[in-house]
Structure 1
Amino acid sequence: MTNRFEEENFLELQEDIKFLINSEIRLKILGCLYNSSASIKQIEAITNYSYSSILDNINKLEQKKFIYSIEDKFYLYNKTRLKLNSILYFNKSATFLRENSDFLNQSLIDINSEAIKDLSALEGSRLIESNNIDLFKSTEIFQRSLMGFKFLKGIFPYFHPRHDDIISYWIDNDCTVELILPDEVSEAVKNFIIDYVPKSPGIKNRFVKLKPNDHNIQLAFTVSDKCFVLALYTKSGQFNQNAVLVSTNPEAITFGLKLFEEYEELCGDYVSLENLIYPNGREDDY
């Protein structure tokens, strides 16, 4: 019963998409009515379409139960508003897939099903690829995403070659960092922190936390208050260091935060910087 209901809804949405995208004027009329009601004259002033064209399409929209009228003003049905949101999501997702088809076709998509529903959030992402002139272009993008932020969350299969500069930056600047790393990488980061802190008296950063990854997560990304950066594995199972998707859109950052939360639940407990530096108690106890 549920599958039949979902199939009928999908077919209905498919028909609605065809009906609307075949007419720019219908989309503009619905856009005019999305936030408030309007008369035909008001719609005419906003869209610059002729009165007769607007009236003809208003009638068609009424017949299809997209809109209704009260005292010469037109309103959207609540169902129409929901459909428009679905159509907007569909168009954004389709645009993202079309613009990045070559990159995605070569990649292994290991993204949890819940997060994948928000794929439209990545519309407008820039694909940055290394080339013969700039071999480390994508790697440098990842490095930049690891510094100069208010908070950072991320998943990596390995750590950046300049890890000493990056980690010391986090410690010295009281950065809030949460990372999911393979066990051996997590160990290396821990050892660096334990070795670095005694050489820098006065450091009180307790906001760096590491979560060892005991799952085979085949993607890498950083998400901060500044941007979302995503790298994928190839279908052969090799991590692709030569291409990253980058977005500074708030929607993409929200997508990244949701993605991190989902993988966060799969892994073990965090180890905090405070516990690494002061394993037998708080700093104040010393």
Structure 2
Amino acid sequence: MFKNELNDFKNIQKEIKFLTNSDNRLKILYCLLNSPQTLKGIHEKTGLNNSSISINVSSLESKGYVVNTNDMFYLTNASKLILTNIFYLNKSINFLDKNANFFNMHKLDNLKFNALKDISSLESSELIESTPFDIFKTVKLYKEFGFRSKSIRTIFPFMYPQINEIFTDWFENDVEIKLILEKNVSDAFIESFNNYKFDKESDSKISVKTIEKGLDFALFVTDEVIILGFYKNDGKFDQNAVYISKEKEAILWGRDIYEEYENIAPEYIYLKE
């Protein structure tokens, strides 16, 4: 099986090399990815000379990446998919390169394949770090955005220290929150919730899923933000650094991660409906 996978990888390698080893070819591909063009249209949009366009288009056509219909050149559907994946691969590599120091010191083991594959969605995110003058800078972000949000999805590997303050914020603002927690955290959370007293009526909805397997990241997603934290390689959660983004692509990526874990965890325990 490994031999077949290796051969597949080599074939993909050749395909990517053919498509990307020429700047002129890439310009033509990107031009056609946006919309079909005539040879004249390609020239006007890329600035390439007619000879280079003719040679590269002919080469792409012979390998089945481009089709000519009534002198209008189109990318095949397969080509569009390949180019889109190359584009996102490039974005992911750029993001990981820029953040190599951080990720080399932190665990990514429990991020699912799809999350790692689409990690370029965090391209616009900002790394927020605590300082000696504000040691709770990152922790306060969870509370700040939790206070401003009506709907929260979160995966947490540890117990928030000021949990009663969080409960008060949720109840006062009628927050609907779903949590996925490790077993020991879930037990402590449910016990704290059962011991908490809130005198006023509240429309908050709080439900918990418990997962046995250890989590090595923290995820906090609302309609307006995603916050992502990780364990360090020494096995301790890094409470001094989180990635945060308000971009829609990153928020949708975070929701996908939550749903992946939601689907493998047991049923919700409804603490408040």
Provide the TM-score with structure 1 as the length reference.
Answer: 0.82
Structure 2 residue aligned with 1:243: 241
**Worse-superposed segment, 114-123 or 169-178:** 114-123
Which secondary structure does the structure 2 equivalent of 1:12 belong to?
A: helix
Asked if structure 1 preserves the Cα contact closer than 8 Å seen for 2:150 and 2:173, the reply is no
Asked if structure 2 preserves the Cα contact closer than 8 Å seen for 1:127 and 1:245, the reply is yes
Asked if structure 2 preserves the Cα contact closer than 8 Å seen for 1:215 and 1:267, the reply is no
**Structure 1 residues 32-181: aligned runs within 5 Å:** 32-109=31-108, 110-181=110-181
The amino acid of 1:235's aligned partner reads N
- Alpha-carbon distance between aligned partners in 1 of 2:199 and 2:117, rounded to the nearest angstrom: 47
Does the C-alpha gap of structure 1 residues 86 and 166 become closer, same or farther in structure 2, counting only changes over 3 Å? same
Asked if structure 2 preserves the Cα contact closer than 8 Å seen for 1:228 and 1:246, the reply is yes
Please give the per-residue CA displacement for 1:205-226, whole angstroms capped at 9, x wherever unaligned.
3x22122343322211112211
Q: Identity percentage over the alignment?
A: 36
Structure 2 residue aligned with 1:217: 215
Please give the per-residue CA displacement for 1:212-258, whole angstroms capped at 9, x wherever unaligned.
34332221111221122111111221111111122233332222222
Which secondary structure does the structure 2 equivalent of 1:29 belong to?
A: helix
- Alpha-carbon distance between aligned partners in 2 of 1:141 and 1:131, rounded to the nearest angstrom: 14
Does the C-alpha gap of structure 1 residues 76 and 255 become closer, same or farther in structure 2, counting only changes over 3 Å? same
Asked if structure 2 preserves the Cα contact closer than 8 Å seen for 1:215 and 1:266, the reply is no
The amino acid of 1:124's aligned partner reads S
For structure 2, the residue ranges without an aligned partner over 5 or more in a row are: none
Asked if structure 2 preserves the Cα contact closer than 8 Å seen for 1:139 and 1:241, the reply is yes
Does the C-alpha gap of structure 1 residues 248 and 12 become closer, same or farther in structure 2, counting only changes over 3 Å? farther
Structure 1 residue aligned with 2:25: 26
Does the C-alpha gap of structure 1 residues 24 and 124 become closer, same or farther in structure 2, counting only changes over 3 Å? farther
| Cα displacement (A) at 1:148 | 1.7
Does the C-alpha gap of structure 1 residues 182 and 134 become closer, same or farther in structure 2, counting only changes over 3 Å? same
Please give the per-residue CA displacement for 1:136-162, whole angstroms capped at 9, x wherever unaligned.
232233333423224211112223334
| Cα displacement (A) at 1:29 | 1.6
- Alpha-carbon distance between aligned partners in 1 of 2:114 and 2:50, rounded to the nearest angstrom: 45
| Cα displacement (A) at 1:199 | 1.2
Paired residues, what number?
A: 272
Please give the per-residue CA displacement for 1:95-124, whole angstroms capped at 9, x wherever unaligned.
122111111111122223343333332333
| Cα displacement (A) at 1:185 | 4.1
Which secondary structure does the structure 1 equivalent of 2:234 belong to?
A: coil
- Alpha-carbon distance between aligned partners in 2 of 1:145 and 1:5, rounded to the nearest angstrom: 48
For structure 1, the residue ranges without an aligned partner over 5 or more in a row are: 276-286
Please give the per-residue CA displacement for 1:38-96, whole angstroms capped at 9, x wherever unaligned.
10111222223333332332233223332121221111122211211221122122112
Provide the TM-score with structure 2 as the length reference.
Answer: 0.86
- Alpha-carbon distance between aligned partners in 2 of 1:204 and 1:141, rounded to the nearest angstrom: 24
Does the C-alpha gap of structure 1 residues 6 and 38 become closer, same or farther in structure 2, counting only changes over 3 Å? farther
